[in-house]
Amino acid sequence: MKRLFTILTMIAVACTFVIGSATAAPAEQPVKIIVMPDHADWNYTCGEEPKFKVLVLKDNVPMGDVAIKYLIAEDNMPAREEKSITLKNGEAQIKIGTMKVPGFLRCTVYVKDCGYTYRGMATAAFEPEKIQPTVTLPEDFEKFWSEAVAANQNIPMQPTMTLMPELCNGVYNAYHIRFQSYAPGCYMYGVLTVPVKEGKYPAILKVPGAGVKPMPAYGNMPTDKAVILQLGINGIPVNMPREVYTNLDRGALRSYNRFRVDSRNDYYYKRVYLGCARAVDFLAELDCVDAEKIAVSGGSQGGALSFTTAALNPKVKCLYANYPALCDLTGYLNGRGGGWPHFFRTESDNNLKSEQIIDNLRYYDVVNFARKVSVPVKVAFGYNDTTCCPTSIFSAINVVSSPIELLIYKEIGHYTYPELERDHGNWILEQFSK
């Protein structure tokens, strides 16, 4: 397997007492906690014992003899060690122990100041390229999904495109789109932008992160060089007032990722996976799209959907995923971190620990779609991500057999930088210029 590791090592660790969003880096805080591994690449061999230097700054000056609490834990697992110590001149060295098997060991440091609690962390990687998934591939996995896709093809798409003048500008025209998928009367919605200049363009399907929300701004996507479809996955229009989505997210569609998980055929994500695959067909039929140049891209849930879409629709020619979710969902049943939405992590999920549900989830686990991907892949993520933990991500990327690139900003958690957003579009356009 050909792999290109692009390693961007950032020494300063993001410190915040409120976790950052999945799209923006955390805000600057007056107290900064720097947790610094003694290996610049944060990578260790199994059995090696890392030493982490801790530095606490306020107004960029060491805080002196400050009290800290630190926790040592394997990736997203309960702490194996918890201690409180006092730093000397704002510094200390912590021995975090080791791992005998491939995985991640995280040191999380907390400091209290002026009534606020601040957090910093760093995560040591132990031979992550050797991490193997806990989830297994069902014998009828391909049959299940090929039959589902074929049945979906028999449902008329009935696409509509409605101009959205308020979003149009001199670069692109914008449309609210709808097409039928999964069942008669069941629709997928999104916002499509088409460059003003006539021609055939590459197309990028942007699949969303988790939650119920209107379409976000296009940010750094190449709207002048590609047709871009930002897809909603909840079966509702994406151009309604924001409070509608807030109410649905907190009410009727709360925890949609668990809807009908007891039914392999009716689990919520079946409609979603098929709808994303059909969105590629929608793009391929547009006169303004070069059907040989279609990509899929997204982060978190969208990173997961990038893999599933590429595996289900051969019209996808490459995929770019940020910190993909839904990877190795059975990790917690095997004593290690699993992917979002963290089935089986807490006692509240004990009702899900049935053979039927565990078996059903194998058909939706991104690891098993990653096994089937045959196009170029790029995945961006960080070692400090506790939402889509790196153990679960490596479980998926280590089974990819097509060319794959990894872009690792080790210190980031479940958020991104503008540079990463620009890299999405740039990398995709580079694939299509080869």
Query: HEC states along the chain?
Result: CCEEEEEECCCCCCCCCCCCCCCCCCCCCCEEEEEEECCCCCEECCCCCCEEEEEEEECCEECCCCEEEEEEEECCCCEEEEEEEECECCEEEEECCCCCCCEEEEEEEEEEECCEEEEEEEEEEECHHHCCCCCCCCCCHHHHHHHHHHHHHCCCCCCEEEECHHHCCCCEEEEEEEEECCCCCCEEEEEEEEECCCCCEEEEEECCCCCCCCCCCCCCCCCCCCEEEEECCCCCCCCCCHHHHHHHHHCCCCCHHHCCCCCCCCCHHHHHHHHHHHHHHHHHCCCCEEEEEEEEEEECHHHHHHHHHHHHCCCEEEEEEECCCCCCCCHHHHCCCCCCCCCCCCHHHHHHCCHHHHHHHHCCCHHHHHCCCCCCEEEEECCCCCCCCHHHHHHHHCCCCCCEEEEEECCCCCCCCHHHHHHHHHHHHHHHHC
Task: Choose, from 392, 414, 423, 424, the residue flagged as catalytic.
Answer: 414
Q: Which of 297, 300, 392, 395 is catalytic?
A: 300
CATH number at residue 81: 2.60.40.1930
Span 184-229, pLDDT tens digits: 999 999 999 999 999 999 999 999 999 998 876 666 788 899 999 9
Q: Is the pLDDT of residue 92 over 50?
A: yes
Catalytic residue check, 401? no
- Among 130, 162, 181, give the residue marking a domain's end: 130
* Predicted pLDDT of residue 341: 97
pLDDT (mean) for 156-181: 95
Measured CA to CA, the distance from residue 265 to residue 106 in angstroms comes to 38
* Mean of pLDDT over the chain: 92
pLDDT at 2 over 70: no
Q: Quick one: 361 and 318 in the same domain?
A: yes
Please, which pLDDT band fits residue 349 given cuts at 50, 70 and 90? Answer: confident
List phi, psi (to 5°) of 4. Answer: -115, 115
User: What pLDDT does 210 receive?
Assistant: 95
pLDDT for 216 equals 65
Question: What does the pLDDT average to over 404-433?
Answer: 89
- Asked if the model's pLDDT at residue 407 lies above 90, the reply is yes
Of 109, 130, 151, the last residue of a domain is 130
Residue 316's pLDDT is: 98
Q: Are residues 146 and 126 in the same domain?
A: no
Is pLDDT above 80 for 71?
Answer: yes
176 pLDDT exceeds 90?
yes
**pLDDT confidence band for 66 (50 / 70 / 90):** very high
Residue scoring higher pLDDT (296 or 420): 296
pLDDT 10s digits, 251-291: 999 999 999 999 999 999 999 999 999 999 999 999 999 99
For the chain, the domain total comes to 2
Q: Is 424 a catalytic residue?
A: no
Arithmetic mean of pLDDT, 46-67:
94
Where in the sequence is the domain holding 215, given as residue range(s)? 141-433
Residue 136 lies in a domain: no
- Residue 14: the pLDDT is 34
Predicted local confidence at residue 128, as pLDDT = 98
Residue with tokens 């917690």: 332
In a domain, 3, yes or no: no
Pair 207, 313: CB distance under 8 Å: no
| Residue 5 lies inside a defined structural domain of this protein | no
Distance CA 74, CA 311 (A): 31
Structure tokens at 74: 């394997």
At residue 420, the pLDDT reads 77
Residue 157 domain-assigned (yes or no) = yes
Question: Quick one: 41 and 171 in the same domain?
Answer: no
Please tell me whether residues 145 and 113 are part of one structural domain. Answer: no
**Are residues 119 and 247 part of one domain?**
no
CA distances from residue 22 to 25, 244, 258, 272, 414 in whole angstroms, order as listed: 8, 21, 20, 20, 5
For the record, the structure tokens of 397 come out as 């990327």
Which residue out of 385, 395, 423, 424 is catalytically annotated?
A: 385
Say yes or no: 335 and 215 in one domain. yes
Residue, of 416 and 116, whose pLDDT is higher: 116
Answer whether residue 135 is part of any domain: no
Single-letter residue type at 320: Y
The pLDDT, as a whole number, for residue 217 is 64
Residue 399: C-alpha distances to residues 135, 386, 424 (Å): 12, 22, 22
pLDDT of residue 39: 97
Active-site residue 84, yes or no?
no
Same domain, 180 and 316: yes
Shared domain check, 196 and 335:
yes
pLDDT of residue 163: 96
Q: Which residue has the higher pLDDT, 18 or 411?
A: 411
Last residue of a domain, one of 80, 105, 130: 130
- Are residue 112 and residue 145 in the same domain, yes or no? no
Reply yes or no on whether the pLDDT at 3 is more than 70: no
Is there a single domain that holds both residue 86 and residue 208?
no
Q: What is the pLDDT of residue 418?
A: 79
* 97, part of any domain: yes
Instruction: Read off the pLDDT of residues 130-153 as tens digits, 9 standing for 90 and up.
Output: 999 999 999 999 999 999 999 999
| 116 and 148 assigned to the same domain | no
**290 and 374 together in one domain:** yes
Q: Is residue 355 in some structural domain? A: yes
Is residue 16 pLDDT above 60, yes or no?
A: no
The yes-or-no verdict on residue 1 having pLDDT over 80 is no
The pLDDT score that the predictor gives to residue 151 is 97
pLDDT the model gives residue 8? 35
Residue 6 lies in a domain: no
CATH at residue 374? 3.40.50.1820
